[in-house]
Structure 1
Amino acid sequence: MKKVVILSGVAALFLGACTSTGGGSLKSTEDSLAYAMGLDMGSYIQNMDTMLDANLNLAVIAKAMQDVAKSDTSVMSKEAAYNFMREYYTVVKPRKDSIASAEFIAEAEKGSNVKKTASGLLYEIVEMGDESVKPDSASTVRVLYKMTDRKGKDLQNTYDSKDTANITLKGVIPGWAEGMQLVGKGGKIKLWLPSELAYGKQGRGQMIPANSALYYEVDLIDVIPADSATK
């Protein structure tokens, strides 16, 4: 919580260095507008800090904002900043995520009940279910599931709402499709997907960066054969 408060005040640090409003009081409409803008920028920085998985130095951020206000490009020009950010997003961060994801998968593999397929998928069968009713690659499955990132943050979770989802295995990421064929109707399975069996180098927007390993828990409620699903 302390970090949230500090991040929300980044712009206030900048404003305080440039124009004093007397102990932080808002004496005019312009002061209120400036403070509101500061809160907005602070929220943006907070989100970026989380998304980039970086411990951003707030003093450096405030200094950069002051330099922009003074048109001072002695530390970094706008063009240099753009090139640096492009390099960070396309090369540096994907490499960091790749290493961290590999470490996550390696740690998961140490689990006593965890097994590994030829593709590299890790899985643990919590409950096998009805082995006579298993999905194949063309089936549609009705499931409850949650998906988390390597840090355990929920990215999707239908357990909370109890809303089942019908998902056709032909249209999903390889690791998930493979994993669902390992358990029968009524079963439950845990899956650890290396990035190449998930969203790979492309990722999925801001929610799932490139080279991200994923973890799933899935309850297989029902199996709908391909010929039944199309009727």
Structure 2
Amino acid sequence: MKLAPHLPVAALLLAASAALFACSRAPSPPTSAPPALDSERARASYVVGLDMAKTLAPVREDVDIEVVLQAVRAAYDGRPSPIDEPAAQRIRAQLSQRLRDRHDAAQRELAKKNLQAGDDFLAGNGKQPGVRSTASGLQYQVLKDAQGPKPNAQDTVRVNYIGARLDGAKFESTYDTDHPAELVLSQVMPGWSEGVRLMPVGSRYRFWIPARLAYGERGVPGQIEPNATLVFEVELLEIAGRGAP
């Protein structure tokens, strides 16, 4: 399964500290007329400012925009800083720690919320017609049955699948790339491996995978929230290779 690239929070924080620029929580009233943007240099400058504002948004609650702009102008003009480098390093570290603590607290709260939402959903979903539950808590529904062989835990399978969140938002699909995936069942999430081993070749199943059988509290930064219950629709095309029994 592919995972989207994600820029670590720590990298954003370091960039934010070093660049000396950020957005305020609410826009400050303009102090002058909007720039004319009538030259290539002016347009490039404006775009750089926009990009910096988007990238450095994590520090918007922790900085005074007017002081930030003073620092930018002073550094741009080559004037000496009233804060020496050792002190600046300490301030950067303190800011980074505050942001990490805030991010971690938000993630813990989100994980708690998602876990409860997933448990509530699965409790109701397991009572729906055609939905079966395994001892591990995995839920599945047979969409298309078949009479082919079933894979073992070490086998490589060739599949088409769609992965989605409980709200129906799709995060991955082999149908979109028009290219089936080959996966070793011992190297994928536990719920996915367990579910596909229930499938005969040629069948199509839907799985509801609780967080503990998916990505758990860690999630996939930027793609899958912590403790998210996931929904997969899987079509087992073939057993591409047999592993050790």
Residue 103 of structure 1 and its aligned partner are, at CA, apart by 3.1
Aligned to 2:167: 151
Matched, 1:20 2:32: yes
For residues 199-218 of structure 1, what are the structure 2 equivalents within 5 Å? Answer: 199-218=215-234
Unaligned 5+ runs, structure 2:
1-21, 69-93
Question: Taking every aligned residue pair, what percent have the same amino acid on both sides?
Answer: 26
For residues 190-205 of structure 1, what are the structure 2 equivalents within 5 Å? Answer: 190-205=206-221
Residue 118 of structure 1 and its aligned partner are, at CA, apart by 0.6
> Structure 1 pair 105/37, CA: closer, same or farther in 2 (3 Å)?
farther
Aligned to 1:129: 146
The number of equivalent residue pairs is 197
Matched, 1:104 2:116: no
RMSD: 3.4
Matched, 1:85 2:91: no
Contact 1:200–1:212 under 8 Å retained in 2 = yes
Distance in 1, matches of 2:193 and 2:182, equals: 13
Distance in 1, matches of 2:42 and 2:28, equals: 14
AA at the equivalent of 2:236: L
Distance in 2, matches of 1:127 and 1:36, equals: 53
Contact 2:24–2:64 under 8 Å retained in 1 = no
Aligned to 1:69: 66
With structure 1 as the length reference, what TM-score do the two structures score? 0.69
Aligned to 2:179: 163
Residue 32 of structure 1 and its aligned partner are, at CA, apart by 6.1
With structure 2 as the length reference, what TM-score do the two structures score? 0.66
Contact 2:190–2:213 under 8 Å retained in 1 = yes
Residue deviations 1:30-85 (CA, integer Å, cap 9, x gap): 6862465236635886xx9xxxxxxxxxxxx97x48734347xxxxx947842651
Contact 1:203–1:210 under 8 Å retained in 2 = yes
Runs of 4+, deviation exceeding 4 Å = 10-16, 24-32, 42-45, 77-81
AA at the equivalent of 1:206: G
AA at the equivalent of 2:237: I
> Structure 1 pair 171/209, CA: closer, same or farther in 2 (3 Å)?
same
